[in-house]
Amino acid sequence: MQVARHVVCALSGGVDSAVAALLLRRRGYQVTGVFMKNWDSLDEHGVCTADKDCEDAYRVCKVLDIPFHQVSYVKEYWNDVFSDFLNEYEKGRTPNPDIVCNKRIKFSCFFHYAVDNLGADAVATGHYARTSLEDEEVFQQKHIKRPEGLFRNRFEVRSVVKLLQAADSFKDQTFFLSQVSQDALRRTLFPLGGLTKDFVKKIAAENRLHHVLQKKESMGICFIGKRNFENFILQYLQPRPGKFISIEDSRVLGTHKGWFLYTLGQRANIGGLHEPWFVVEKDSATGDVLVAPRTDHPALYRDLLRTNRVHWIAEEPPTALVRDKMMECHFRFRHQMALVCCVLQRGGVPGQWEDYAPGAVCLHPPEGPKQVQGGHRGLQRCS
């Protein structure tokens, strides 16, 4: 008699990961639930929300009759995610900590804990995503320690696992998984990849998981919660007062506490002005933030942008891109943003790439699962 495959499922205390664990049990796998504590401060009401989430995850395991484990990655999260978050903001860039958390914590620390400490044949999460591997193909994968350096052994023959969009295009979370390594992807199951959110809720309601079904869905950055973003950031970064300057006539429209607090394209809440103004440029030398009226102002649009080294999910750039030094693909820099068709080409600096979006034409993704090629800001190969 074949021993049941052991799958370690990350449980957040929410409905998605709970149903993911339930579906794995239904498939006949030996399932273990693990709750990760990544942040340990109190919320705006003085309550440690991680403790409540942990309790909810534990109750899920009780309902499903599976083992429960709790691990703390508070130190790793601070060093590898939050410190990076602050450093990027201080440089005037807008990082996405969820992408970094998946790369450094969930699909690195948790992945290795599940495989090395708990003896998992595979790991699973409640993300809305898919890969090109069936369950049995995942279980056949062997963990191979990767050599240090930029390139893998060119004589090593390995099939590449693809990251595919979820069936529920609105809930699709491949954007947040775009920097996960090949090794982690090839050993990961995404039970919700073929389901819609409404159906996941229906499954939870029918299987005694009401305590997670009733919870509000978490949105935004986990360590900020409902607190004021500006006030939170200024607890860690020194204020750098500056002016809001109109890009049309150089008028001073107001003042702010730090140019690094603003993202290009963001609405700037300028005291005393009722009409909306939007961030066009940020001057780190003077501290000024240049703003423009209206969302359709020409100064807010770009058809060329540059990026540094791209994380290729397949570990290496597509052959056509290497050969032709350019490739048509789709692009997004924000979750749920409509995909834009663009041309990716090699820049003048090694490892640097340029995205050119002619006319900034927005295209919706075509029907069916879409392969995600690169992970710097969600590049996808045009079909």
Q: Which of 61, 222, 329, 342 is the catalytic position?
A: 222
Give me the count of residues in the chain: 383
- Interatomic CA distance for residues 70 and 11, integer angstroms: 9
Rounded Cα distance, 106 and 121, in Å: 16
Express each pLDDT in 201-239 by its tens digit.
Answer: 999 999 999 999 988 776 666 666 667 888 888 999 999
Handedness of CA 129, 131, 136, 141 (dihedral sign): negative
Report yes or no: 87 and 124 within 8 Å, Cβ to Cβ.
no
What pLDDT, in 10s, does the model give residues 99-130?
999 999 999 999 999 999 999 999 999 999 99
- pLDDT bin (cut points 50, 70, 90) of residue 353 is low
Tokens 């943003």 label which residue?
A: 337
Give the pLDDT of residue 295. Answer: 87
Report CA Rg, the chain.
22
* Residue 362, pLDDT score: 28
pLDDT tier for residue 333 given thresholds of 50, 70 and 90: confident
Quick check: 95 and 84 in contact, CB under 8 A? yes
| Topology agreement, domain 6-214 and domain 240-293 | no
| pLDDT on residue 317 | 83
Return the closest-CA partner of residue 17 out of 29, 31, 3. 31
Homologous superfamily in CATH for domain 6-214? HUPs (3.40.50.620)
pLDDT over threshold 50, residue 366:
no
- Residue 340 DSSP code: E
Beta bridge partners of 356: 304, 343
Parse the chain into domains and list their residue ranges. Answer: 6-214, 240-293, 303-382
169 CB-near residues (< 8 Å, 6+ apart) = 365
Token reading at 50: 């991680």
Using CA atoms, how far apart are residues 191 and 117, in angstroms rounded to an integer?
A: 23
> Looking at residue 22, what is its pLDDT?
98
Which of 381, 326, 336 has the alpha carbon at shortest distance from 356? 326
pLDDT in tens, 53-101: 999 999 999 999 999 999 999 999 999 999 999 999 998 888 889 999 9
- pTM, two decimal places: 0.85
30-47 pLDDT, tens digit each: 999 999 999 876 554 555
Which residue in the list 101, 109, 329, 342 is annotated as catalytic?
101
Is the pLDDT at 148 greater than 50? The verdict is no
Catalytic residue flag (residue 101): yes
- By DSSP bridging, strand 340-346 and strand 289-293 are unpaired
CA torsion sign for 6, 181, 197, 193 is negative
Give the Cα separation of 236 and 282 in Å (integer): 20
pLDDT tens per residue across span 132-144: 999 999 998 865 5
**CATH of region 240-293, choose from 2.30.31.70, 3.40.718.10, 2.30.30.280, 1.10.3720.10:** 2.30.30.280
Q: What is the pLDDT of residues 243-279, one digit of tens each?
A: 999 999 999 999 999 999 999 889 998 988 888 999 9
Q: Is 342 a catalytic residue?
A: no
